[in-house]
Amino acid sequence: MEEIKDKLELLRGRIPRAILFAIFCAFMIALPALIGKSWLNITVEMLIMALAACSLNLMLGYTGMVSFGPAGLYAVGAYTTGILLAKLGTGIVPAMIAAPIMAAIVGWGVGWICVRRTQVYFALLTLAFAQIIWTIIFEWYPVTGGDDGLVSIPTPDFFFSITNSYYFCLVLVASCIYAIWRIVNSPFGGTLQAIRENPGRVEFIGVNVKRYQLAAFVLSSLFLGVAGSLYCVFSGSAFPDYAHWTKSTDMLVICLLGGIYNFSGPIVGTAVYTILIKTISKHTMQWNLILGVIVVLLVLLMRNGVVGFLSQKLSRHR
């Protein structure tokens, strides 16, 4: 174990980050040639989930707002694209541009009410709004298809090839995650982190905390909308389940699994979570039980997630 750590340490010292990053990019670009179609499918799902989790972490890890309702805004994005394509017959470009805008508008309305309260109440309010969105989708049969959802949404032929879908998602997800990275490393992102650490003091130095929290909420909704829209186009369908609160808790677990105080946490968390589920469900029907045990152990033993855990281990040997 010690030897491996030393070698890792050596690697870290010798290879600059930029090269590691370039290798990662090359790997992602070469991926369709390396793995089979079913795994490529899973990778696309992972990419979209990673974007959703990063958007959530903008609130969760960077602003310290625990939201229980990200799935609601994700579903707004998915249904906006789905309804525009299936019911109104617009092109793919306006349908995909409208999704984040719609999600941001809904996010602004929801966020405006939610940021009035903090802590438990904030979490419960976001949960309530997500459930309202779920209810609207579930009940508004003529527009959303109710519990049948929207199926066989007409998407361009381009997306019939899984490789095309993969590259499309890769480019879009990568640019969105880059945008989020720029946001959290900007002075604005710094203010958000200051709010996370101590909202009271930030208020004292003359920052309008609520306004910043609302901004974080809207930005998070915007990117969740992109993720939802992508998933709708990729799968060619939209279901009320997208807004269900179990979907929100999935996203929360992913963020926590990867580590909410690292930018790459949600991305790593998505990969670990997806692989865990795929392998566990191959062997047993009771994967919920195992997932529950993993979640409990995670909270008790590895609170900073996989990324936090690893970076702690590595820095100790530096």
Question: Does position 119 bind another protein by CB under 8 A?
Answer: yes
Q: What is the 3-state secondary structure (H, E, C) of 96-150?
A: HHHHHHHHHHHHHHHHHHHCCCCHHHHHHHHHHHHHHHHHHHHHCHHHHCHHHCE
Interacting stretch for another protein, rule CB under 8 A, among 21-29, 47-55, 129-137, 213-221? 129-137
Nearest-angstrom CA–CA distance, 269 and 286: 21
Residues 280-309 that bind another protein (CB under 8 A): 286, 288-289, 291-296, 298-300, 303
Q: How far is the CB of 53 from another protein (least distance, A)?
A: 14
Going residue by residue from 260 to 279, which x/- string records binding to another protein, judged by CB under 8 A?
A: x-------------------
Q: How far is the CB of 291 from another protein (least distance, A)?
A: 6
Among 54, 78, 125, 230, binds another protein (CB under 8 A): 125
Going residue by residue from 38 to 77, which x/- string records binding to another protein, judged by CB under 8 A?
A: ----------------------x-----x-x---------
| Count of beta carbons in the 10 Å neighbourhood of residue 166 | 20
Q: How far is the CB of 294 from another protein (least distance, A)?
A: 8
Q: For residues 141 and 160, which CB has a smaller minimum distance to another protein in the complex?
A: 141
Tokens 């945008």, residue located = 179
- End-to-end CA, the chain: 16
Question: Does position 256 bind another protein by CB under 8 A?
Answer: yes
Question: Does residue 261 contact residue 57 with C-beta atoms inside 8 Å?
Answer: no
Nearest-angstrom CA–CA distance, 237 and 42: 16
Q: For residues 15 and 289, which CB has a smaller minimum distance to another protein in the complex?
A: 289
Q: For residues 100 and 266, which CB has a smaller minimum distance to another protein in the complex?
A: 266
Q: Nearest Cα to 99, choosing from 8, 226, 13?
A: 226
149 phi/psi in degrees, rounded to 5: 70, -175
Instruction: Please list, in sequence order, all residues whose beta carbon lies within 8 angstroms of the beta carbon of residue 201, skipping any fewer than 6 positions away.
Output: 194
Q: For residues 127 and 224, which CB has a smaller minimum distance to another protein in the complex?
A: 127
Question: Does residue 213 contact residue 207 with C-beta atoms inside 8 Å?
Answer: no
Among 139, 163, 279, 312, binds another protein (CB under 8 A): 139
Instruction: Please list, in sequence order, all residues whose beta carbon lies within 8 angstroms of the beta carbon of residue 31, skipping any fewer than 6 positions away.
Output: 40, 43, 166
Residues that bind another protein (CB under 8 A): 60, 66, 68, 113, 116-117, 119-121, 123-125, 127-129, 131-132, 135-136, 138-139, 245-246, 249, 252-253, 256, 260, 286, 288-289, 291-296, 298-300, 303
